[in-house]
Amino acid sequence: MNALEDIFHSFELGIRSSKAVKPKQYLNGLGLDYNELRIGFNSGQFHHNREQEFKDQCEALGLLTKSDAGVNKEGLTAYTVFGRYGVVFPLMNQSGEIVNLFAIRFDLSTPIEEYLNEQGLYPSYPHPLTKKLYVVPTVLDASSLLQSKALENRESVMALHNGRLLPQHLEAIQALTELEELIILKN
């Protein structure tokens, strides 16, 4: 298992916490069910009370960035946390491993959507035998389509990255030897 998989698993546990009322309300308002889709909640505290080695690994992944903010205990380092107090979705590589995260920091006056990096696809790379592929602008659009259960056998959905078509999208499409129909949905 990779580090992002472990951390995302902790976010999946976080959304199930009885204290995660606001994230559950937010998802409910979007019509998304964390019991049916892989969705997590990052409270921003996944690194608290952890070894420095873990924090260094999270910093290397881009999940933590050292901050100049003051801390109330000598010897501690303050960090800015990726996707803090946000709902989080995993992006996968061709092997089905989590290589990226998409977060929506919903509890701000203007919600912020952010990607950890530019790797991976959401919800995953389409099955090689896909006949009909829907390409949608956002992770939320893909989640909504998955949640609707409108996709039939040999149909897949793939979210663009901030509305952009990246090389991994083209690579995934070109690998679909059975593809008969490509449907691009726009905002």
List per-residue pLDDT tens for the chain, 187 residues long. Answer: 478 999 999 999 999 999 999 999 999 999 999 999 999 999 988 888 788 888 889 899 999 988 766 566 666 677 789 999 999 999 999 999 999 999 999 999 999 999 999 999 999 999 999 999 999 999 999 999 999 999 999 999 999 998 899 999 999 999 999 999 999 998 7
Q: Note the pTM of the prediction, 2 decimals.
A: 0.92
- Residues paired with residue 182 on neighbouring β-strands, in sequence order: 133
CB 87 within 8 A of CB 26: yes
CA distance 156 to 66: 39
CA distance 31 to 143: 10
CA distance 71 to 183: 51
User: Domains of the chain, with CATH numbers?
Assistant: 3-115 (3.90.980.10), 132-184 (no CATH)
pLDDT at 45: 86
Q: What is the per-residue DSSP string for the chain? A: --HHHHHHHHHHHHHTSTT-HHHHHHHHHHT--TTTS--EEE-S-TTTT--HHHHHHHHHHTSEEEE----SSTT--EEEETTTTEEEEEEE-TTS-EEEEEEEETTSSS-EEEES-S--BBS-PPPTT-SEEEEESSHHHHHHHHHHT---TTEEEEE-BTTB--HHHHHHHHT-TT--EEEE---
CA distance 155 to 187: 21
